[in-house]
Structures are given as structure tokens and as C-alpha cells.
Amino acid sequence: MAFSITREDLYRRAMVVRAKKRLSQNFLVEPSILSMIADSINADPGDTVVEIGPGLGFLTEFLVRTGARVFAVELDEDMAFRLKDLAAEFPNLTIIRQDFLHFDPESLKAKNIKVVGNVPYQITSPIVVRVLGELDEPGIWLPYVESLTMTVQLELARRLVSPPGSKEYGQITILADYYATAKMIGKVGSEHFIPRPDVESAVVQLVKRDRPKVTVKDASLLRRLVKAGFKERRKMIKNNLGFTHLNQEELTSLLMAHGISPAARAEGLSLDKFAQLADALKAYALDEND
């Protein structure tokens, strides 16, 4: 990207602002990483980009130079005010003073929106749910979004991209896999932020699938099954399925019929296996009611 700015420039601009701890404000001041994030979303003129929490506008400066329409959604009134000069310079930038978690994408009148941001870590999971939804309830953003690219806590990034069988694998992994393909763009050391956070970070990207990865007869049952399976993740999954009212012999038989070990734990089951098990439980319940 043909835009030159130094780390020293960004560092100096960040140091004259008092970051608000209650909003978890940490400003990314490494231009090479900001450029990497902007490049990763492949924005072109005419595209629509929504930036979550632009703060001082360091990433925004890279985004607007793609030619895309950039909507910077900022909760902090002081930060939104500071972005006015940048908006005056770039007519393709619109500042929206609002909480992203309450922002309605329909107001943008756009499709294939690329959502991006260096987001406060305490609301990262709510943002994922806001954009994607739940297994049985697509999110308000889902019809409009193409991708979600975020700088997040490294631990959460690993959870989003982890394979079955890993200790990071869990409910949010399955949710992301259901609606999107997830990949790690790169790690970001704490030394690249002002003020410096206590944790390491990473850039992770979720690209929406054309349709959910699996088709199930009852998405609400799938959601309930996943939640129950990970409620006590060290237990064998058959011991976490009390809500089914099946006895241990029935559960063992059902699991084995679908190639799942009776000793399996939730962390060892792929989304496909959870879907198979949900459909089997649904069919079993229907048979019992015949």
C-alpha cells in the first residue's frame, strides 16, 4: 500500500492521548501490522468496510486509501471528534458515533461488508456472536457481511482456529466453523501497542460461508448439544447429556452407531460429528414418540 508513516509518528500521536481503561483502549502503533490488516481484507474502490472502534484512526488511515467506503463506528465521543479531520480529507470515510454492538447494518444499504477492527478484548466474543449469531439464530449482520477481521487476544484467536482435539477447541470454535472459515493472519506482540497490554494478540479472520457448514434437522438441538457437551469439558460427553433423558446404555449405543467412542469428550468431536449426533438424537426422540 503506497502510504508512508513511521512507528515514531504513530507513537508520538498516541502518547498525547490518555487511553481510557474502562473502554480497554490500546492503540496499535506498528505501521507494518496496520498495513497487513488492511491488505488482508482485500478492499477495493466501491467496497463497503465497517471499522469497529477506530480510536485515533491509525488503521482507518490505511483503510480509506483502498478507495472503499469506510464507516468507522466509534463509541467514544472524544475519539470520534478526533477523526473529523481525517473524514474531511477523505470523502469515502463516514464517522458513526455509536456502540457497534447496537449498530444496525441495514442502515448502510450494502452487501458483502468487510468488518474489521482492533477491538476491546472484553467484547470480542459478543462481537463474533453479533456478526455471526448463534447456531440456531443467524446474527443480524450475517446477511450483509462478507468477512470479520479482528485483532484479538491471542488465546481467543487460537480458540477460533483450533482443530478438534486441542485444548483451545470449544463452543466458539464450533460457532465460527458453522458460519465461516477461520484463519490466523499473524501474531501481534504487546510491544506494538500504546499503552502496552498484559497479553499477546493476533489478527484473525472469519470469512462467511455461502451456507452453514452442516445441515441439521434441529439447529436448536445442535446448539443445546454443543453447550451441554462443553459444560464440563473433562467429562465424557455421554455424561453431559442428561437433558436427553437417555440412559447410559442408550447413549453408548447411539454414540457407537455414529463412530463416536463412548469415552469421547466434546473437545474431540468435530462439527460434523456434533451434527450427526444431533440428528440421531432428533430421530431417536421422534421414534420414541411414534
pLDDT at 227: 95
Which homologous superfamily does the CATH classification assign to the domain defined by 7-208?
Vaccinia Virus protein VP39 (3.40.50.150)
- Out of 1.20.1090.10, 1.10.8.100, 1.10.260.40, 3.30.70.580, select the CATH number for domain 219-289: 1.10.8.100
Query: Beta 113-118 vs 48-52: how paired, if at all?
Result: parallel
Question: Does pTM top 0.75 for this prediction?
Answer: yes
Mean pLDDT (the chain, rounded): 91
Stretch 263-280: mean pLDDT, rounded? 95
Q: Which residue(s) pair with 187 in the sheet?
A: 202
Q: CA 147 to CA 217: how far, in whole Å?
A: 27
Average pLDDT over residues 225-230: 95
Q: pLDDT of 14-37, one tens digit each?
A: 887 675 555 566 889 999 999 999
Predicted confidence at residue 190, as pLDDT, reads: 92
Strand partners, 72: 51, 95
- Taking only the tens place, the pLDDT of each residue in 168-224 is 999 999 999 999 999 999 999 999 998 888 889 999 999 999 999 999 999 999 999
Cell 454414540 -> residue: 255
What is residue 173's predicted lDDT score, i.e. its pLDDT?
97
Taking the C-alpha atoms of residue 201 and residue 156, their distance in angstroms, rounded to an integer, is 9
**Where do the domains of the chain lie?**
7-208, 219-289
- Whether the per-residue pLDDT at 120 is higher than 90: the answer is no
pLDDT score of 289: 45
Distance from C-alpha of 211 to C-alpha of 134, rounded to nearest angstrom: 14
Whether 2 shows a pLDDT value over 80: the answer reads no
Q: How many whole angstroms separate alpha carbon 142 and alpha carbon 145?
A: 5
80-99 mean pLDDT? 95
Length of the chain (residues): 290
